[in-house]
Chains A and B, each alone.
Chain A
Amino acid sequence: MEERRYRSASGVPIALRCLQHSASCRELAVRCPRLQLRSLSAVTSAVWLAAYGLFVLSENSMVLSAAIFFSLIGLIIYLHFVKIDQESLLVIGSLGIQVTSSYASGKESTTFIEMGRVKDVVINEAIHMQKVIYYLCILLQDPGDPQGVSEVVPLFQSSKPRLDCLIEVYKSCQEILEQTKTAPQSN
């Protein structure tokens, strides 16, 4: 189990962890930086200062309680629905690929794609805002057309690792996918 440091597309440091559970099962987890106390206190004090300024202008104490209430609700919503702590990819040869995102509040959202639906795992380019970034994606097989692709599932969307990290993940995945593709022929 090694943990290597990389950078994301926007420059923040991220860490990649590779775990080999067995010959055909690998787990690759990308950990995003945690919520900084600095930014949290900066946002909270800005909101409360603005609310205090409004209170001084309007002499209505409801503004203060509303500000406290909304900042609490906003923090809970941010931690539960927006801030992703870790994104992981579990590749089990002959079963499928599982993509998990864990949020800062502990919630985990998982999707499992069966191996029969997976056509390939590739690195693709995209234009994101003013940059061109690389991203890893799973190509799903079109049931009607053996050469066609029905859907593209992008991975690591929140941490957006750079090409060097993506190449590591790509190589690990391809090793297992090759095993799966060659195994039925040997039977």
Chain B
Amino acid sequence: MVLKIFFPSCCSSAESGVLVGRWISEQSSAVILAVLHFPFIPAQVKQYLSEVQRVTKVGVSVLGSWSNSKQEKEESLSEFFQDLGIIFSHEPWIQISKEGDSKFWSCSTLQKHFDHPKEEEIILVYYDQRKVMLSHLHPPLDMAPSADHRADDASKLAAIFDTVAKSKVLFLTDRYDEGPIKLTHWQSDGVEASILVELMKQASVPACMLLTFLLSLVSGVCRSRVLKLWPLSFLWSKLSTCEQLGHRLQHLQVISSNKKAQNQAQLMRKANIFVSLLIDVALGVLLVSWLYRKNRIGHLADTLIPVADHVAEELQDLLQWLMGAPAGLKMNRALDQVLGRFFLYHIHLWISYIHLMSPFIEMILWYVGLSACLGLTVALCILSDIIALLTFHIYCFYVYGARLYCLKIYGLSSLWRLFRGKKWNVLRQRVDSCSYDLDQLFIGTLLFTILLFLLPTTALYYLVFTLLRLLVVVVQGLIHLLVDLIDSLPLYSIILRLCRSYRLAAGVKFRVLEQQDGKPLRLLMQINPLSYGSVVQTYRLPTYSCYPKDSWTSLCKKLFLGELIYPWKHKGEKQD
């Protein structure tokens, strides 16, 4: 089988020594992690490597020899390296030698168990140690479900990434250390430590504890018995602002927990929630500062009452139109007048109620607007709730119209069955034939005719109010979609993909470097970053998303029958 040697590009100019790394025999590949320089004592080297193996659980051993000679090939060293091969006894013993500044190295292997050296092809793959160590390999999305032992042989690359990532402890030794072991590998050139970052790290633990304490207080208050009384609990469940605040509270609890993240997914989730909260609050504060400058909120409150009046006037005009001959249709005059007057009276009540509230509107709005500081999503939810409150009369009209229409439809269908001599059997849930008396038939037919001729009027009122209600529902749905988008977008992952694309790896790509006859094949292994779509799909934050409850056909059926529709369902809501 072809022998593959993964060589770190940072060791290309290292002094002569022995190669330290991991040998993966199933793939016949050697992952070189570092070069150990002369002079060393083999016993100490073996002891050091067994310690590293114990800590990292990676099978690190001495794999071969590396000679970097500035002048012509030195004969004595080759025999020395062969002796080393006997001391460290690794099968196969890899020998890499570089002459001067040449790019083309010669590699050979020594197999002790065979008398004749097999002409095995060798592939030399260069890799960037720092990037491979820091990156996280994402398996293809279709392979994720099969997470059993077969996944081991499925991805050989994962083994290589794993090896380098787990050997972090090996990379901690510094080249300037005075010890018995001198290694060359990737070194961090020192981390620039700023005082602010250090202070933030020190302050984060007490800050987290304080935040946890405050959050436990808040959640304790929320769970108290007082707030669970019937009218209040109904109100909280209907207002979307409360749900959004509860959702954000959960997020804060996730961030402020002092358990360290176990794996990559949890760490990314915490980071995403943190950045999302930060951006949300920043946008909210920006919005608040814009609203309160030049007293825009006062102007908004001043225009609110005229807008509500205008809407009520438009509704009155609409009802007058319906009470006449709408679109040229001829209505039943008596029923028309009754329904029209009934709804007009409601609008009159609504306008009086709004005018009663008008002195307090500005103050309420001023204080409610301040709560937009908690985040842009909260502001959008408040907007959606204000729309719901202002169009409450449309909702009431829709309910009245729908109930009336629904009653009429059920009555009609039942009397239609009587007309044909059939009956609905509740026990058997089917239609049976039935013999009626003459009186029953007479009354039934009379009622059927009355209901049938009154149908167009009721149906028209129902249609008009349903359309208005659907308009309001669509507007609210759009606002909630926007809130959902802000809630679930993994901003930290997207920024990471933009700035440090090697951290999120979908795979690798190979580039063929210059070749020379007789020398092994040279390849450069680079990290292939994840596409933006996969980043969003993998790291999406779960939300209490609102999605349509019914398919189109069931929605149309409900509309036709006059059942009340609540098109958006929130996850976790009780089914009614």
Contact = CB atoms under 8 A, between A and B. Distances in A.
A183 interface: yes
Contacts of A27: 512
B510 A95 contact: yes
- Interface size class on chain A is 20 to 34
A110 B154 CA distance: 20
B512 A25 contact: yes
A112 B508 contact: yes
Contacts of A95: 4, 123, 125, 510, 523
B2 A144 contact: no
A144 B510 contact: no
A24 B512 contact: no
Nearest to B515: A21
Query: Which 5 pairs, one residue from A and one from B, show the smallest C-beta to C-beta distance?
Result: A22-B521, A94-B2, A110-B509, A143-B150, A112-B507
Q: Determine the interface band of chain B, counting residues with CB < 8 A from chain A.
A: 20 to 34
Interface in B491-522: 507-510, 512, 515, 520-521
Given A24-B521, A112-B510, 12 more contacts: A22-B121, A24-B2, A25-B512, A92-B523, A94-B2, A94-B123, A95-B510, A98-B510, A110-B509, A116-B153, A116-B154, A184-B1
Contacts of B520: 22
A130 interface: no
A14 interface: no
A21 B2 contact: no
A155 interface: no
Interface string B128-155: 0000000000000011001000110111
A90 interface: yes
Interface string B513-536: 001000011010000100000000
Nearest to A98: B510
B156 interface: yes
A98 B509 contact: yes
A161 interface: no
A184 B120 CA distance: 12
A183 B2 CA distance: 8
Interface string A18-36: 0001111101000000000
Contact of B512 (A90, A114, A117, A150): A90
A111 interface: yes
A90 B1 contact: no
A112 B528 contact: yes
Nearest to B520: A22
Contacts of B151: 143
A117 B143 CA distance: 11
A151 interface: yes
A187 interface: yes
A114 to B, nearest CB: 6
Contacts of A25: 123, 512, 521
A144 B523 CA distance: 32
Interface string A115-157: 0110000000000000000000000000110000011000000
Interface of A: 21-25, 27, 90, 92-95, 98, 100, 110-112, 114, 116-117, 143-144, 150-151, 183-184, 187
A92 B28 CA distance: 15
A98 B155 CA distance: 15
A21 B146 CA distance: 36
A21 B512 contact: yes
Given A25-B521, A114-B155, A117-B154, A90 B121 contact: no
B157 interface: yes
B403 to A, nearest CB: 51
A23 B125 CA distance: 16
Contacts of A90: 510, 512
Given A22-B521, A90-B510, A143-B146, A114 B157 contact: yes
Given A184-B1, A187-B1, A114 B156 contact: yes
Nearest to A115: B156
A96 to B, nearest CB: 8
Contacts of A94: 1-2, 4, 28, 123
B544 to A, nearest CB: 35
Given A111-B507, A143-B154, A151-B142, A23 B121 contact: yes
A116 B156 CA distance: 8
A149 B424 CA distance: 55
Contacts of B509: 98, 100, 110, 112
A114 B125 CA distance: 15
